[in-house]
Structure 1
Amino acid sequence: MPIALAEEIMLLSLDDESGVPERRQAAGWAVAGGIVLELVLAGRASVEGKYLTLTDPTPTGEPLLDGRLALLDAWLHGRDKRRVTHWLTRDHAKATRAAMESLCARGVVVEQQHMTRARRWPTGWRKSRPASGRPRAYVPRSAICRRP
């Protein structure tokens, strides 16, 4: 399955040395916009002028997009359309976490944690390595994900 635009944006926002997302707030807007664009390209949503419309609520088969599609459907509350800026304002803070969890589920990135006083704190992230042991070319040194 190819990496979605929102996931690519999230990977690009990560610092190569520390593994911490740089300019997280700006990245959140770009990731949320990328998700909307992917939904439009998949034919599930439509943007006309200032308004966002849900055209087809069926799942796309992409977990990141399907999760956001369900949230968008619930947010519309049966209305035909709402302003795109209202959705982006609502979703931009949570979109980065969703994109990182999707990348972790794919095995592209893994979280590194540091133990202090019996608590785990995410301190950095590293690339996932394929079986050959070489890092993947398109993956920066970092990312974040939750472990169950």
Structure 2
Amino acid sequence: MSDRDAAEEVSLKEQLDRIEQKIDRMLGLYDALGDIAAGLPPRLVAALHTMSPAEHVALQMVLDNRSNHEISVCLDVEEPRVAEWVDAVLAKLGVNRRAEIRRLMQPLMAAIPPENYARASGGIPKDWNDKYGVGGVPDPYRRIYHPNPD
């Protein structure tokens, strides 16, 4: 294979990756519109779609009433990084306290379909905290949210 052929193959791969990302965003928007039509608050649905996978993990752990320290130990991440994620969740929801996150998001989490949540979260399942939110439990989703994948 010539250098030119290799470059064209890389370019095609990049184009396909961009197309897949656009399709994922469109499907996420479709899910969001369906969730809104089903009566879920548009502002909260939109906030879910703007959060990073790491912020979704932090969100689930905040909903479980975990402190930043507990989250950092469980995820093997520095506490300031966790604080950044939690602060981002607070900002995206337009609230100032963790209790407000729980008040707003617990009903939404109960109502949103698991497949829609997974798409909004970048692949983190809705029940991630129940299954993997304990330190030492092998987490197949770690590569999605962890800043320094193993």
- Taking structure 1 as the reference length, what is the TM-score of the superposition? 0.25
Q: Which has the higher helix share?
A: 2
Which structure has the greater CA radius of gyration? 2
Higher strand content, 1 or 2: 1
